[in-house]
């Protein structure tokens, strides 16, 4: 039963990949097809990495916070990363490495702010985490807007970076750097995969996890750091894309998967496929591109409502 | 096996909640902790299992400081008061998690451990549950599964917080039977509100009151001081070495 | 900074005259200019906002004003891409990567319109006969003037409250006509956010609305000389003309002279 589902998802993924890479290709003149294919191929990988990172980091955070309604966006981590990225693109003229570093530093800062907010609030933890995330998000998004107004250079692309866009110009001379970043992303995903048994234990019962030899606190910080790392990289490439990381793991859980390793494998495939689909829609549904965040939010709103409803009934 | 010296613990912002000057138990057997609600039974257990951290005093297991033991999970296993899981999980995989410390990177155990697991399930009589998921089990079945996980984890000490609450008569009997079998090779710490069970199965009784150990001893000794411990009149009969407590008027 | 870049490119490409250039225009006013200078048949890509002249309909859309579809831009195989003040860092990286020449032609006030046109002709064809540009220059020189030094306020949008300054397209024409426009700060931006306190101290004699929201007139009723103020509402097409600094400058000057003199 479970394997059947997985193969269905895999089929879905390959189907979308095929369409994504080949759509309208024949309508282009032959001598530029190669150029366009390069462009598309890079964007295709960006989509896949975005999908994988968003969903895995979402499901990791849902476990370590014991809250099905969190993801890097909700907690304000993405907002901090975007602020760091904007800051570096103003002061360092978009140097790739510096921008990654800045977005990493500021997303750590954002998560610290968000965590300390939520720790200082008394009340139902599930809600205080969301509230403090909201505050952090407001803080950083207004800082981003302020920065782009002051610098006035970036104000046009601000809208797209706040709603997310995968329209990232690929530079061939930077290929090694992309591969380097991709390697680290794969490494971090691998780390999350091998941490799935710890996540299982933490998600079941923290006390049992502790007495079985899982260092809950250490794992919390390690995994949070990995999530922040992944998210900050993806945000500096695509801008802020919200809610995917929250919705997909929840859907997989509703569909009956309970072990974290299975949740990860499924959400990697579905996340990649869904981001590809959303990017496809955002690319071709109008004569010009619309931000992918808009597409995803619109389509996922009913699901989001459903998930919030289910989770607040259990609260 | 368990020794406590000058242990003091309080939750944030409160007065000292647990205060134990000297405490020591040794040898296999069943040790029941009794006391009123709020007397600190659960906190006491959590301290022994190193789930919550304390500042003053020390707890020694096998003469080693609990904070310095690296593989504590191989010495002590714990069943929490709330046996229900936050997330659904397959039964067999859940029991398997007991041997977390022996798992490889991908969470797999070697074939010897796997076989041991199946044998254990057989001997506990719950092998028919192994393909179900935890949410589909009854309270009694789930408690058995928790017990199986704790046994599978191994270790000489087994700590069970309220194992008999919310469990029907049939499963109670099964669990008591298993515990009686286990006490030959383990030190078992149990807390329970059911005086009948605790007096009849325990080798030793530990009485907690306001976070302090007020009495320790076997069932006969403690039975004479019950009124003092609970500050209420508790009547019981003793027939053929079994205690029967009178409940209700 | 941008202007410097353009100069470097100008030096580099000045002597290269390519006759069958494929042009992508990513700004509506540039599209209009290219058509006016009869380069229209060379345009192979435009934005979704480019809707004048009507011939543009057959040209492929490759983006909106701020976000461009890189695949589509590549697919029309352009030699030159024109922007007008909307060159994003992303687009810059992309075009440099693909080795496509691009120019960010600044065309905001009337002087820049003429300069921009000259620049475009230089880029595309150095032997261009400049009669068409001369017509515009002549018309600008012959703008009728009024001598009352009236104060004029051009309300670009109501919420947020934005007005045009002398640096803007419409403002530069109006100031040539002898009107006084509001001024804020040192570094002049074409459009600035305004507060009602600014309005009170500015005391406009004429107010032009560059948006369709007629009720925004009401807020000026607390001005001392409200009854004497002349209110002018532009229709949709006129707003289009005034928001695109380009060859329709002839039309806009005529229009403003009709409306105000």
Arithmetic mean of pLDDT, C250-261: 89
Residues of chain A in contact with residue C98, where contact means CB-CB under 8 angstroms, are: 35
> Domain locations in chain A?
2-312
Based on the domain organization, do C123 and C174 belong to the same domain?
no
| Main-chain phi, psi angles of B24, to 5 degrees | -155, 130
What integer pLDDT is reported at residue A2 of this predicted model?
A: 56
Based on the domain organization, do C57 and C127 belong to the same domain?
yes
Q: Is C246 in contact with C236 (CB distance < 8 Å)?
A: no
Q: Is A283 in contact with A289 (CB distance < 8 Å)?
A: yes
Please tell me the CATH superfamily of domain A2-312, with its number.
Answer: ABC transporter involved in vitamin B12 uptake, BtuC (1.10.3470.10)
Is it the case that residue C18 has pLDDT exceeding 50? no
Our CA dihedral for B188, B189, B192, B196, rounded to 10 degrees, sits at 50
Based on the domain organization, do C20 and C131 belong to the same domain?
yes
Whether B94 and A211 lie within 8 Å, measured CB to CB? no
* CA-based nearest distance C196→chain A, Å: 22
Higher pLDDT, A31 or C118: C118
Residues C188, C194: Cα–Cα separation, whole Å: 13
Q: Is A160 in contact with C67 (CB distance < 8 Å)?
A: yes
According to DSSP, the residues that pair with B60 across neighbouring strands are B3, B65
The residues near C138 (Cβ < 8 Å, ≥ 6 apart) are none
Query: What single string gives the DSSP state of each residue in A235-297?
Result: HHHH----SHHHHHHHHHHHTT--SHHHHHHHHHHHHHHHHHHHHHHHHHSSSS---HHHHHH
What integer pLDDT is reported at residue A1 of this predicted model?
A: 46
Name the strands in the sheet holding C43-47, side by side, starting at the edge strand that comes first in the sequence.
C60-63, C43-47, C23-25, C80-83, C101-104
Does any domain span residue C187?
A: yes
Whether chain B has a CB inside 8 Å of the CB on A210: the answer is yes
Residues C110, C114: Cα–Cα separation, whole Å: 7
| Main-chain phi, psi angles of C76, to 5 degrees | -90, 5
What integer pLDDT is reported at residue A153 of this predicted model?
A: 58
* CA-based nearest distance C87→chain A, Å: 9
Give which of C193, C157, C197, C165 is closest to C181, Cα–Cα: C165
Q: Which chains touch A (3 or more CB pairs under 8 A)?
A: B, C
Based on the domain organization, do C113 and C185 belong to the same domain?
no
Q: Is B147 in contact with B163 (CB distance < 8 Å)?
A: yes
Arithmetic mean of pLDDT, C221-227: 84
Residues of chain C in contact with residue A237, where contact means CB-CB under 8 angstroms, are: none
According to DSSP, the residues that pair with C155 across neighbouring strands are C163, C209
Which of the listed residues C80, C111, C139 is the one where a domain comes to its end?
Answer: C139
Q: Is C106 in contact with C2 (CB distance < 8 Å)?
A: yes
Whether A288 and C74 lie within 8 Å, measured CB to CB? no
Based on the domain organization, do C115 and C194 belong to the same domain?
no
Based on the domain organization, do C61 and C187 belong to the same domain?
no
Q: Is A236 in contact with A81 (CB distance < 8 Å)?
A: yes
Q: Please indicate whether chains B and A are in contact, defined as at least 3 beta carbon pairs under 8 Å.
A: yes
Is it the case that residue B15 has pLDDT exceeding 80? no
pLDDT in tens, C50-85: 988 999 999 999 988 888 888 889 888 899 999 998
Based on the domain organization, do C133 and C159 belong to the same domain?
no
Does any domain span residue C145?
A: no
pLDDT in tens, B41-89: 899 999 999 898 888 889 999 989 988 888 888 899 999 988 888 888 9
Give which of C260, C94, C210 is closest to A157, Cα–Cα: C94
Is it the case that residue C14 has pLDDT exceeding 50? no
Query: Burial level of B29, CB count in 10 A (0-12/13-18/19+)?
Result: middle
Based on the domain organization, do C7 and C99 belong to the same domain?
yes
Q: Please indicate whether chains A and C are in contact, defined as at least 3 beta carbon pairs under 8 Å.
A: yes
Helix (H, G, I), strand (E, B) or coil at C14: coil
Q: Which residue in C67, C86, C97 is closest to A170 by CB distance?
A: C97
pLDDT in tens, A1-21: 456 788 899 999 999 999 999
Q: Which residue in A211, A214, A261 is closest to B76 by CB distance?
A: A211
pLDDT in tens, B103-152: 888 888 999 999 999 999 999 989 899 889 998 999 899 999 999 999 99
Does any domain span residue C144?
A: no
Higher pLDDT, A39 or A52: A52
Whether chain B has a CB inside 8 Å of the CB on A142: the answer is no
Percent of chain A exceeding pLDDT 90 equals 49
Is it the case that residue A109 has pLDDT exceeding 60? yes
Based on the domain organization, do C104 and C220 belong to the same domain?
no
pLDDT in tens, C151-160: 999 998 888 8
The residues near B211 (Cβ < 8 Å, ≥ 6 apart) are B16, B17, B18, B19, B39, B40, B43, B44
Whether A168 and C90 lie within 8 Å, measured CB to CB? yes
Give which of B203, B140, B204 is closest to B174, Cα–Cα: B140
Q: ipTM score here?
A: 0.86
Does any domain span residue C146?
A: no
Domain range for C98: 2-139
What integer pLDDT is reported at residue A75 of this predicted model?
A: 92
Residues of chain A in contact with residue B105, where contact means CB-CB under 8 angstroms, are: 194
Based on the domain organization, do C132 and C169 belong to the same domain?
no
Which of the listed residues C91, C111, C139 is the one where a domain comes to its end?
Answer: C139
Q: Residue C77's closest chain A neighbor by CA? A: A32
pLDDT in tens, A149-165: 777 655 556 777 788 88
Q: Please indicate whether chains C and B are in contact, defined as at least 3 beta carbon pairs under 8 Å.
A: no
Q: How far is CA C146 from the centre of its chain?
A: 24
Interface mutation target, options C28, C70, C104, chain A, most CBs of A under 10 Å? C70
Arithmetic mean of pLDDT, C220-240: 87
Which of the listed residues C114, C139, C164 is the one where a domain comes to its end?
Answer: C139
Q: Quickly tell me which residue has 């008394």 as its tokens.
A: A122
Long-range contacts of C157-164 (CB under 8 A, 24+ apart): C157/C210, C157/C211, C158/C211, C158/C213, C158/C216, C160/C193, C161/C193, C161/C194, C161/C195, C161/C196, C162/C191, C162/C192, C162/C193, C162/C194, C163/C191, C163/C192, C163/C194, C164/C190, C164/C191, C164/C210
Q: Residue B106's closest chain A neighbor by CA? A: A194
Does any domain span residue C39?
A: yes
Q: What is the CATH number of the domain that holds C133?
A: 3.40.50.1980
What integer pLDDT is reported at residue C3 of this predicted model?
A: 54
């Amino acid at each position: 039963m479970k394997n059947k589902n997985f193969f269905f998802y895999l089929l879905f993924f390959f189907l979308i990949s095929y369409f994504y890479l080949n759509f309208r290709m024949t309508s282009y003149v032959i001598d530029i097809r190669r150029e366009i294919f390069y462009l598309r191929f890079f964007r295709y990988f960006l989509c896949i990495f975005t999908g994988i990172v968003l969903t895995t980091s979402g499901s990791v955070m849902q476990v370590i916070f014991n809250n099905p309604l969190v993801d890097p966006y909700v907690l304000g981590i993405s907002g901090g990363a975007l602020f760091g990225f904007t800051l570096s693109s103003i002061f360092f003229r978009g140097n790739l490495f510096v921008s990654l570093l800045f977005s990493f530093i500021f997303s750590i800062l954002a998560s610290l702010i968000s965590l300390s907010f939520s720790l200082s609030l008394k009340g139902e933890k599930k809600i205080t985490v969301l509230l403090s995330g909201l505050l952090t998000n407001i803080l950083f998004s207004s800082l981003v807007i302020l920065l782009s107004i002051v610098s006035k250079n970036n104000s046009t692309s601000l809208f797209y970076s706040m709603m997310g866009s995968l329209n990232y110009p690929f530079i061939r001379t930077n290929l090694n750097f992309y591969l380097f970043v991709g390697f680290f992303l794969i490494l971090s995903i691998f780390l999350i995969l091998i941490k799935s048994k710890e996540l299982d234990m933490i998600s079941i019962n923290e006390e049992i996890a502790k007495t079985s030899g899982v260092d809950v606190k250490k794992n919390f910080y390690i995994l949070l750091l990995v999530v922040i790392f992944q998210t900050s990289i993806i945000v500096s490439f695509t801008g802020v894309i919200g809610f995917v990381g929250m919705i997909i793991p929840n859907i997989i859980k509703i569909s009956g998967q309970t072990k974290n390793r299975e949740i990860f494998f499924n959400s990697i495939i579905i996340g990649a496929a869904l981001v590809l689909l959303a990017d496809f829609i955002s690319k071709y549904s109008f004569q010009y591109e619309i931000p992918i965040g808009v597409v995803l939010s619109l389509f996922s709103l009913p699901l989001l409502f459903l998930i919030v409803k289910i989770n607040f009934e259990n609260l | 096996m368990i020794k406590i010296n000058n242990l003091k613990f309080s939750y944030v912002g409160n007065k000292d909640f647990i205060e134990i000057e000297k405490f020591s138990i040794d040898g296999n057997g069943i040790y029941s902790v009794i006391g009123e609600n709020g007397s600190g039974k659960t906190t006491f257990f959590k301290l022994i299992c190193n789930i919550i951290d304390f500042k003053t005093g020390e707890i020694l297991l096998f003469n080693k400081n609990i904070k310095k033991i690296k593989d504590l999970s191989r010495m002590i296993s714990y069943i929490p008061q709330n046996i229900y899981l936050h997330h659904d999980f397959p039964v067999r995989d859940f029991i398997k998690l007991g041997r977390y410390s022996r798992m490889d990177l991908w969470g797999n155990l070697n074939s010897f451990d796997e076989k041991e697991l199946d044998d254990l399930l057989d001997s506990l009589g719950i092998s028919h549950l192994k393909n179900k998921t935890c949410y589909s089990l009854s309270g009694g079945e789930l408690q058995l599964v928790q017990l199986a996980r704790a046994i599978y984890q191994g270790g000489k000490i087994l700590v069970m917080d309220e194992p008999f609450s919310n469990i029907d008569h049939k499963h109670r009997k099964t669990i008591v039977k298993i515990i009686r079998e286990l006490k030959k090779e383990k030190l078992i710490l149990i807390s329970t509100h059911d005086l009948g069970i605790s007096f009849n199965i325990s080798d030793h009784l530990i009485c907690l009151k306001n976070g302090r150990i007020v009495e320790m001893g076997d069932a006969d000794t403690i039975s004479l001081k019950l009124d003092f411990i609970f500050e209420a009149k508790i009547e019981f009969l003793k027939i053929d070495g079994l205690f029967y407590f009178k409940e209700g008027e | 900074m941008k202007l410097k870049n353009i100069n470097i490119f100008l030096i580099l490409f000045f002597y290269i005259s390519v006759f069958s250039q494929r042009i992508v225009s990513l700004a509506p006013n540039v599209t209009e200019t290219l058509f006016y200078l009869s380069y229209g048949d060379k345009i192979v890509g435009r934005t979704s906002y480019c809707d004048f002249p009507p011939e543009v309909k057959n040209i492929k859309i490759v983006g909106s004003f701020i976000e461009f579809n890189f695949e589509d831009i590549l697919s029309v195989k352009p030699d030159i891409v024109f922007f007008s003040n909307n060159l994003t860092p992303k687009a810059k990286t992309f075009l440099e990567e693909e080795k496509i020449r691009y120019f960010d032609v600044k065309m905001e006030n009337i002087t820049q319109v003429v300069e921009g046109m000259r620049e475009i002709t230089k880029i595309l064809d150095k032997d261009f006969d400049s009669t068409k540009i001369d017509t515009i220059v002549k018309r600008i020189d012959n703008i009728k003037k009024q001598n009352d030094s009236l104060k004029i306020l051009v309300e670009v949008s109501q919420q947020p409250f934005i007005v045009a300054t002398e640096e803007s397209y419409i403002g530069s024409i109006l100031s040539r006509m002898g009107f006084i426009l509001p001024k804020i700060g040192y570094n002049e931006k074409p459009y600035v956010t305004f507060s009602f306190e600014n309005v009170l101290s500015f005391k406009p004699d004429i107010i032009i609305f560059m948006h369709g929201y007629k009720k925004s007139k009401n807020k000026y009723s607390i001005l001392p000389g409200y009854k004497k103020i002349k209110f002018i509402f532009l229709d949709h097409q006129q707003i289009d003309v005034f928001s695109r600094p380009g060859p329709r400058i002839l039309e806009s000057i005529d229009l403003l002279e009709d409306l105000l003199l």
